[in-house]
Amino acid sequence: MLESINARTGMAHGASWADSTAQDIDLAARQAQSVASDFARATPGLRAELLRSMGQRLLSAREALVALADRETGLGLPRLNGELDRTVYQLEQFALALDQGAVHLLLDEPAVAGAAPVGRPRMTRIRVPLGPVAVFAASNFPFAFSVAGGDTASALAAGCPVIVKAHPAHPALSLALAEQVQAAVAQCGLPAAVFQLVQGAGIAVGVRLVQAPAVAAVAFTGSLQAGRALADLAAARSRPIPFFGELGSVNPLIVLPSALASGAAERAAALAQSITLGAGQFCTSPGVILVPQGEPGDGFVHALAGQLSQLQPHGMLTAGIRRNFESGVDAWRHAGGAQVLAGLEGNAAATPAATLVQVSAADYLRQPALQHEVFGPAALVVRTQAMNEMLEVLAAIGGTLTATIWGIDGDAAQVTEEVHALVHRATEVAGRVLFAGVPTGVAVTAAQQHGGPYPASTAPATTSVGLAAMDRFLRPVALQDAPDWLIQRY
């Protein structure tokens, strides 16, 4: 059964309702398949109209939607209003991409006269929609990565019907958002099965959806454990389907000695805010901070701990997320060589304590348990003796959404081969490498890459943010000697 829970009181609001049944899910998948071909042939203009109608409806219902989101998540009105604006913005960006006509047509090569291999026919490379996409909504972004979020927007822009599996942390909001999307679908004269919603508090709904024969692809944002299990199910189907999962990320931030020479206090303050933003429940929250040994590094770490000690994050999204957070930081506190710099052990308060724990690089490297993500307002400081230890720590971290390097913005002539090696290693493990600022905050742009090697993503060549997110749901097809009238449709 599903209940709408007040995030601040833990009390249920209103009546409960039943999970979607296996029959509900199978029917939704069949209905999506029945309209997939027609929706794939819908003009880019019509799909752009749908996305814009969705955005307008979200804005018109802003007050009610934000209030409902705040009740179920406790994230606060300023944060949620900003997230709603971001959600509408990304809908508009996908609509603009459709207006510009570059979504489906990739390359048109004219014929070349003569014998092969120099001569060739006209070859036109296009992209066609994969078919029905199952979207798993995230808990930490109730608008931007949820029912009407980026996965839904990019799949609809690509011409794929969508079945959203709502997150049980905000079930009433999910229903309200689905009503707005369904109204936009109807307004545009499209079949209702272009967008559908299923819900469930347990794992059965998600499993059934991934296994539904009509589902052609899955987009998932969530935990490593759940994502890996669903990815394995998608691969084990008699007809395996792509699973685009964002599963976990520690987002290392490297502080080079040159970054400690000036402005260290300001950097520490900005980093503390990033660690605790949204109670640390951002997929790009910096979780591992690499700092050189020595007095300047000591000063920076002391300043960071002081900043964190003054911050009080708000409550976490669910009781389960809070339990996992406390378990994770408890493992940090009791690791070999660990020094707790901020955050009380055994914190039982209603809101989590901002936590900072320090270990040496040697202790970090010999204890694999320290290399896992702790989702929440906490970071692990790893003190390094030399550049080679930074490289080893990055290698141990493995796949991550972001890596940040502070202190290499000087003159090119001053950049050493060690620094080049560090940047290269960062690009090997991360989907986005920053050289200023903090990793929290993901711009919706054509150049954005929000993904990375496993476990950051199950498909590291793809992104779930930015205009390239559509690429996940489009399959290349080569048309040979196609007539002009056909090519002009793309």
Secondary structure (DSSP) of 64-114: HHHHHHHHHH---HHHHHHHHHHHHHHHHHHHHHHHTT-SSEEEEE--B-S
Asked whether the beta carbons of 308 and 342 are under 8 A apart, the reply is yes
Confidence (pLDDT) at 414: 64
β-pairing verdict for 133-136 and 123-129: unpaired
- Per the listing, tokens 């979780």 go with 287
What pLDDT, on the 0 to 100 scale, is given for residue 346? 52
- Tens of pLDDT, residue by residue over 62-94, are 999 999 999 999 999 999 999 999 999 999 999
Identify the CA nearest to 153 among candidates 101, 216, 90, 213: 90
User: 3-state SS of 327-381?
Assistant: HHHHHHHCCCCCEEEECCCCCCCCCCCCEEEEEEHHHHHHCHHHHCCCCCCEEEE
CB atoms within 10 A of CB 57: 21
Looking at 20-24, 114-118, 208-212, 293-297, which range is the least confident one? 114-118
Q: Is the peptide bond before 313 cis (omega within 30 degrees of 0)?
A: no
Residue 102 has pLDDT above 90, yes or no: no
- Residue 326 corresponds to which tokens in the numbers above? 């406390």
Topology of domain 253-434, CATH: Aldehyde Dehydrogenase; Chain A, domain 2 (3.40.309)
DSSP labels, 116-174 = TTT-B--EEEEEEE---EEEE--SS-TTTTSTTSHHHHHHHHHT--EEEE--TTSHHHH
Torsion 349-272-67-152 (CA) sign: negative
Range in 18-32, 247-261, 337-351, 378-392 the model is least confident about: 337-351
Chain segment 295-352, per-residue pLDDT in tens: 999 999 999 999 999 999 988 998 899 999 999 999 999 999 999 999 965 556 678 9
| Sheet hosting strand 195-198, strand order edge to edge | 195-198, 162-165, 133-136, 217-221, 243-246
Distance of CA 254 to the CA centre of its chain: 22
Whether residue 416 is predicted with pLDDT greater than 90 in this model: the reply is no
Q: pLDDT-based confidence at 413, cuts 50/70/90?
A: low
What CA–CA distances, in Å, run from 37 to 17, 40, 257? 33, 5, 57
Q: Strands 105-109 and 123-129, how do they pair?
A: antiparallel
Question: pLDDT tens for residues 459-480?
Answer: 999 999 999 999 999 999 999 9
Question: Residue 104's pLDDT band (boundaries 50, 70, 90)?
Answer: confident
CA distance 341 to 332: 12
Pairing mode of beta strands 378-384, 355-360: parallel
- pLDDT confidence band for 154 (50 / 70 / 90): very high
345 DSSP β-pair partners: none
Asked whether the beta carbons of 288 and 253 are under 8 A apart, the reply is: yes
In the chain, domain spans: 2-247+457-487, 253-434
Q: What are phi and psi of 315, to 5 degrees?
A: -60, 155
E strands, 172-286, where?
195-198, 217-221, 243-246, 253-255
- CB 212 within 8 Å of CB 238: no
Q: What is the pLDDT of residue 488?
A: 83
CB neighbour class for 354 (10 Å; exposed up to 12, middle 13-18, buried from 19): buried
Q: What distances in angstroms separate CA 173 from CA 74, 143, 177, 202, 422, one per listed residue?
A: 13, 9, 6, 18, 44
Structure tokens at 102: 């570059």
**Tokens 């506190």 belong to residue:** 333
Longest dimension (CA), the chain: 78
Mean pLDDT for 39-44 is 96
Predicted TM-score (pTM) of the model is: 0.94
Active site residues: 246, 283
Which stretch of 55-59, 114-118, 264-268 has the lowest confidence by average pLDDT? Answer: 114-118
Round to whole Å and give the CA distance between 360 and 258: 20
State what percent of residues in the chain have pLDDT above 70. Answer: 98
What is the rounded distance in angstroms from the CA atom of residue 121 to the CA atom of residue 113? 8
pLDDT 10s digits, 232-274: 999 999 999 999 999 999 999 999 999 998 899 999 999 999 9
Average pLDDT over residues 360-368: 96
Q: What is the pLDDT of residue 347?
A: 59
Mean of the per-residue pLDDT values of the chain: 94
| Cα angle 238, 243, 246; round to 5 | 155
Q: Identify the H or E element spanning 38.
A: helix 22-40
> Looking at the predicted structure, is the pLDDT value of residue 392 above 80?
yes
Amino acid at 443: A
Query: Stretch 147-161: mean pLDDT, rounded?
Result: 98
Identify the architecture of domain 2-247+457-487 in CATH: 3-Layer(aba) Sandwich (3.40)
Q: What whole-number distance in Å separates Cα of residue 301 and Cα of residue 382?
A: 10
